[in-house]
Amino acid sequence: AELRKERIKKTKTVCTYCGVGCSFYIWTKDRKVLKVEPTPESPANGISTCVKGKFGWDYVNSEERLTKPLIREGDHFKEVEWDEAIRYVAKRFKEIKDAHGPDALGFIASSKATNEESYLLQKFARQVIGTNNVDNCSRYCQSPATVGLFRTVGYGGDSGSFSDIASSDLVIIIGANTGESHPVLASKIKRAQKLYGQKLLVFDLRKHEMAERADMFIRPKPGTDLVWLSAVTKYIIDQNWHDEEFIKERVNGFEQYKSSLEPFTLEYAEEVTGISKDTLIKVAETIHQSKTMVICWAMGVTQQQRGSDTSTAISNLLLVTGNYGKPGTGAYPLRGHNNVQGCSDFGSMPNFFPGYEKVADEKVRSRYEKAWGVTLPKNPGKDNHQMVKAIHEGALKALYVTGEDMGIVDANINQVGAAFEKLEFFVVQDLFLTKTAQYADVVLPASPSLEKEGTFTNTERRIQRLYEALPPLGDSKPDWQIYCMLAKALGFNWDYQHPGEIMEEAASLAPLFAGVSYDRLEGFSSLQWPVEKDGTDSPLLYEDQFPFADGKAQLYPLQVDYLYDVDEEYDLHVNNGRLLEHFHEGNMTYKSQGISRKTPNAFIEISKELAEERRIQEGAIVKLISKYGSVKGPVHITDRVQKHEIFIPLNDTGELAINRLTGNHADRDTNTPAYKEIAVKMVVLKEK
């Protein structure tokens, strides 16, 4: 018994499934995960977790894990040793750089990997290769929210903490299925509703769990959030309900912004959004009656052609009502991946160094040039969307994708797959031979979060440490070690012995993280950026000033010059999102048996009205056809969707993979694909 006890290990880790960032102890015996034990010390979640955090760990021991580097030989892969794989990748990167220049290479960082790994991949692209072509999957989701916040309040992150959401008088959730995508946060809201009578308004197309619990559930027409947000803001100003003192002291541009709202009358909003005037007035009244308000939003807002502008409209409304810088207030773009916040924070973006300092800023660049001993490129690089385009145009020859099944999660995957086939050299680093990896010339086996040390940053900007619970499986390695081997093979002496040294370097260069250190993050301790040199962190932003030259926020006028709609031929709208049990394309959760068994096969949700109109029965097989491709699957008739709106979960990678339908249209400010603007027609293939 003593011996058995000795083999049982209890390690602190951070969940790898969503931006809530639950931390807990994970109990292991040899390679077996015994249990997950959250503790009251866990800063984001206390003693809660959801089904994914609790039961979603089998994938670490999956037989499908890659345990050896692979090099393509014709139509199959051969297993090789690390030395050979690294030598080969370094040689091909060098050849392509010498022949076509550094911008012929592109790099995709993983939002599931650690902050230190994001830092190293952008350093690899910039220092070792000499290109700013580096991006991450925030391009697919929350980049528009970051732009909306940069424009208005200055920092691209949640403006407060979960405690602010839980203590606010009013929570508005727009285009976010919090109950399934951020379950532990949803339970905080449910508790606040019950205990303190917190008000909840939900704006969404689909009647999900939080919509059912809301005081008001409002269904705008797809793609019209910008209009109702601006109309409600205008009505609040017209009634003189805006926070005059806050605006006078802390906000620029009020008069110009106010005039820009002229077209957003209640009548216009009712016509465009389908929300009645009375309802819009009720929303404005509820905001006016609430001392504090937070707004949470996610992909239902950002994955549209006006995603950045709609995020801006949210921030405008918060500014006009004085809902920044006080407890219980603020903007909360809810981050999807566990470390999508940190991956961008630590510089895997084509236009920013770590801490959102511009690559085009000479002063900043020279700081990095001095530290890294090279001349750095000054022009912003290509984002992932532009990289795919550049491959088709012949300008991008080599791609290195880490921890991202880009061939499934990018929009218009038929076109993305065709791009992969055109590459001269393609490296994929992942846990599994994903759909994307199947196109690669070299596949490098990486280790998941349980097999390494590092830090993740959750949606509250909270940086937390994770510790190694298991050794890497087979010959797989943590991403940071693979980057170091590659940099060395290309002549750069990257000699980091521990991720703590990487964080130390990042903190010495990026003022946003000046006081971040592994000592200060020991155990369950955490820090919310910005962190001053003395270790003071920032649970609530903007208490005294906004990070602009004069310390004031900026209201940002918006117009409506485009509205999404279906047309006569493609007459149905397709919405898409997560299921509680699955993470994204399901590469990890489908390999966790308990979870996999619990979820139904992929399905297409249609409304009762549509089923009656087209005489479709439950279980019938239908084909959905967009201008870019088609999917097929069984119908599930439900009142969660209405009229001509359809919902498909995004975790299927086969015949119902949503990105067979999506096109090239994207948010105009960030190139985030408009995943939520899909018009289709429907054909019944098989009656039930």
Name the site residues for ligand SF4 (rule: CB under 6 A): 15, 17-18, 20-22, 45, 49-50, 52-53, 182-184
Q: Which residues of 123-158 are buried (b: 16+ CB within 10 A; e: fewer)?
A: bbbbbbbbbbbbbbbbbbbbbbbbbbbbbbbbbbbb
What SS3 state is found at 665? coil
On the 0-12 / 13-18 / 19+ scale of CB atoms within 10 A, 99 is exposed
Task: Identify which of 229, 288, 235 has the alpha carbon closest to the alpha carbon of residue 262.
Answer: 235
Smallest separation (angstroms) from ligand SF4 to the CB of 83:
37
Specify the residue, 69 or 183, whose C-beta has the smaller distance to ligand SF4. 183
- Report residue 364 as tokens: 């900043």
Q: Tell me the C-alpha distance between 675 and 327, whole Å.
A: 34
- Report residue 471 as tokens: 């050794």
Smallest separation (angstroms) from ligand SF4 to the CB of 54:
7
Specify the residue, 17 or 155, whose C-beta has the smaller distance to ligand SF4. 17
CB 256 within 8 Å of CB 556: no
Specify the residue, 462 or 660, whose C-beta has the smaller distance to ligand SF4. 462
Smallest separation (angstroms) from ligand SF4 to the CB of 50:
3
Specify the residue, 182 or 397, whose C-beta has the smaller distance to ligand SF4. 182
Specify the residue, 17 or 124, whose C-beta has the smaller distance to ligand SF4. 17
The torsion of the CA quartet 475, 479, 482, 486, rounded to 10 degrees, works out to 160
Smallest separation (angstroms) from ligand SF4 to the CB of 400:
28
Which residue has the CB atom at the shortest distance from ligand SF4? 53
Give CA separation, 68 vs 63, 181, 401, 470, in Å: 13, 33, 17, 17
Q: What are phi and psi of 24, to 5 degrees?
A: -170, 170
Smallest separation (angstroms) from ligand SF4 to the CB of 581:
10
- Report residue 408 as tokens: 């499934």
Specify the residue, 57 or 88, whose C-beta has the smaller distance to ligand SF4. 57
Smallest separation (angstroms) from ligand SF4 to the CB of 36:
8
Smallest separation (angstroms) from ligand SF4 to the CB of 580:
9
Smallest separation (angstroms) from ligand SF4 to the CB of 17:
3
CB 653 within 8 Å of CB 589: no
Specify the residue, 45 or 260, whose C-beta has the smaller distance to ligand SF4. 45
Specify the residue, 20 or 172, whose C-beta has the smaller distance to ligand SF4. 20
- Report residue 335 as tokens: 């981050």
Smallest separation (angstroms) from ligand SF4 to the CB of 22:
3
CA angle 454, 458, 463 (to 5 degrees): 45
Q: Tell me the C-alpha distance between 75 and 2, whole Å.
A: 51
Specify the residue, 210 or 666, whose C-beta has the smaller distance to ligand SF4. 210
> Listing from the earlier edge strand, what are the strands of the sheet with 8-14?
8-14, 23-29, 32-37
Smallest separation (angstroms) from ligand SF4 to the CB of 46:
11
Specify the residue, 45 or 312, whose C-beta has the smaller distance to ligand SF4. 45
The torsion of the CA quartet 641, 646, 647, 651, rounded to 10 degrees, works out to 160
CB 350 within 8 Å of CB 131: no
Specify the residue, 15 or 437, whose C-beta has the smaller distance to ligand SF4. 15
Q: Where are the alpha helices (DSSP H) in 76-128?
A: 82-100, 115-123
Smallest separation (angstroms) from ligand SF4 to the CB of 530:
23
Q: Tell me the C-alpha distance between 431 and 218, whole Å.
A: 41
Specify the residue, 12 or 250, whose C-beta has the smaller distance to ligand SF4. 12
Q: Which residues of 556-589 are buried (b: 16+ CB within 10 A; e: fewer)?
A: bebeeeeebebeeebebbbbbbbbbbbbbbbbbb
CA distance between the termini of the chain: 57
Smallest separation (angstroms) from ligand SF4 to the CB of 167:
19
Smallest separation (angstroms) from ligand SF4 to the CB of 115:
16
Specify the residue, 222 or 448, whose C-beta has the smaller distance to ligand SF4. 448
Specify the residue, 97 or 337, whose C-beta has the smaller distance to ligand SF4. 337
CB 568 within 8 Å of CB 266: no
Strand 678-686 and strand 134-135: the pairing is: unpaired
Peptide bond into 511 cis (omega under 30): no
The overall longest dimension of the chain from CA atoms, in Å, is 76
Smallest separation (angstroms) from ligand SF4 to the CB of 466:
12
Specify the residue, 45 or 651, whose C-beta has the smaller distance to ligand SF4. 45
Task: Identify which of 207, 211, 263 has the alpha carbon closest to the alpha carbon of residue 233.
Answer: 263
Smallest separation (angstroms) from ligand SF4 to the CB of 94:
40
What SS3 state is found at 202? strand
Residue whose entry in the numeric block shows the structure tokens 């709202």 = 261
Q: Tell me the C-alpha distance between 354 and 368, whole Å.
A: 10
For residue 574, the one-letter residue type is: V
* Length reported for the chain: 688
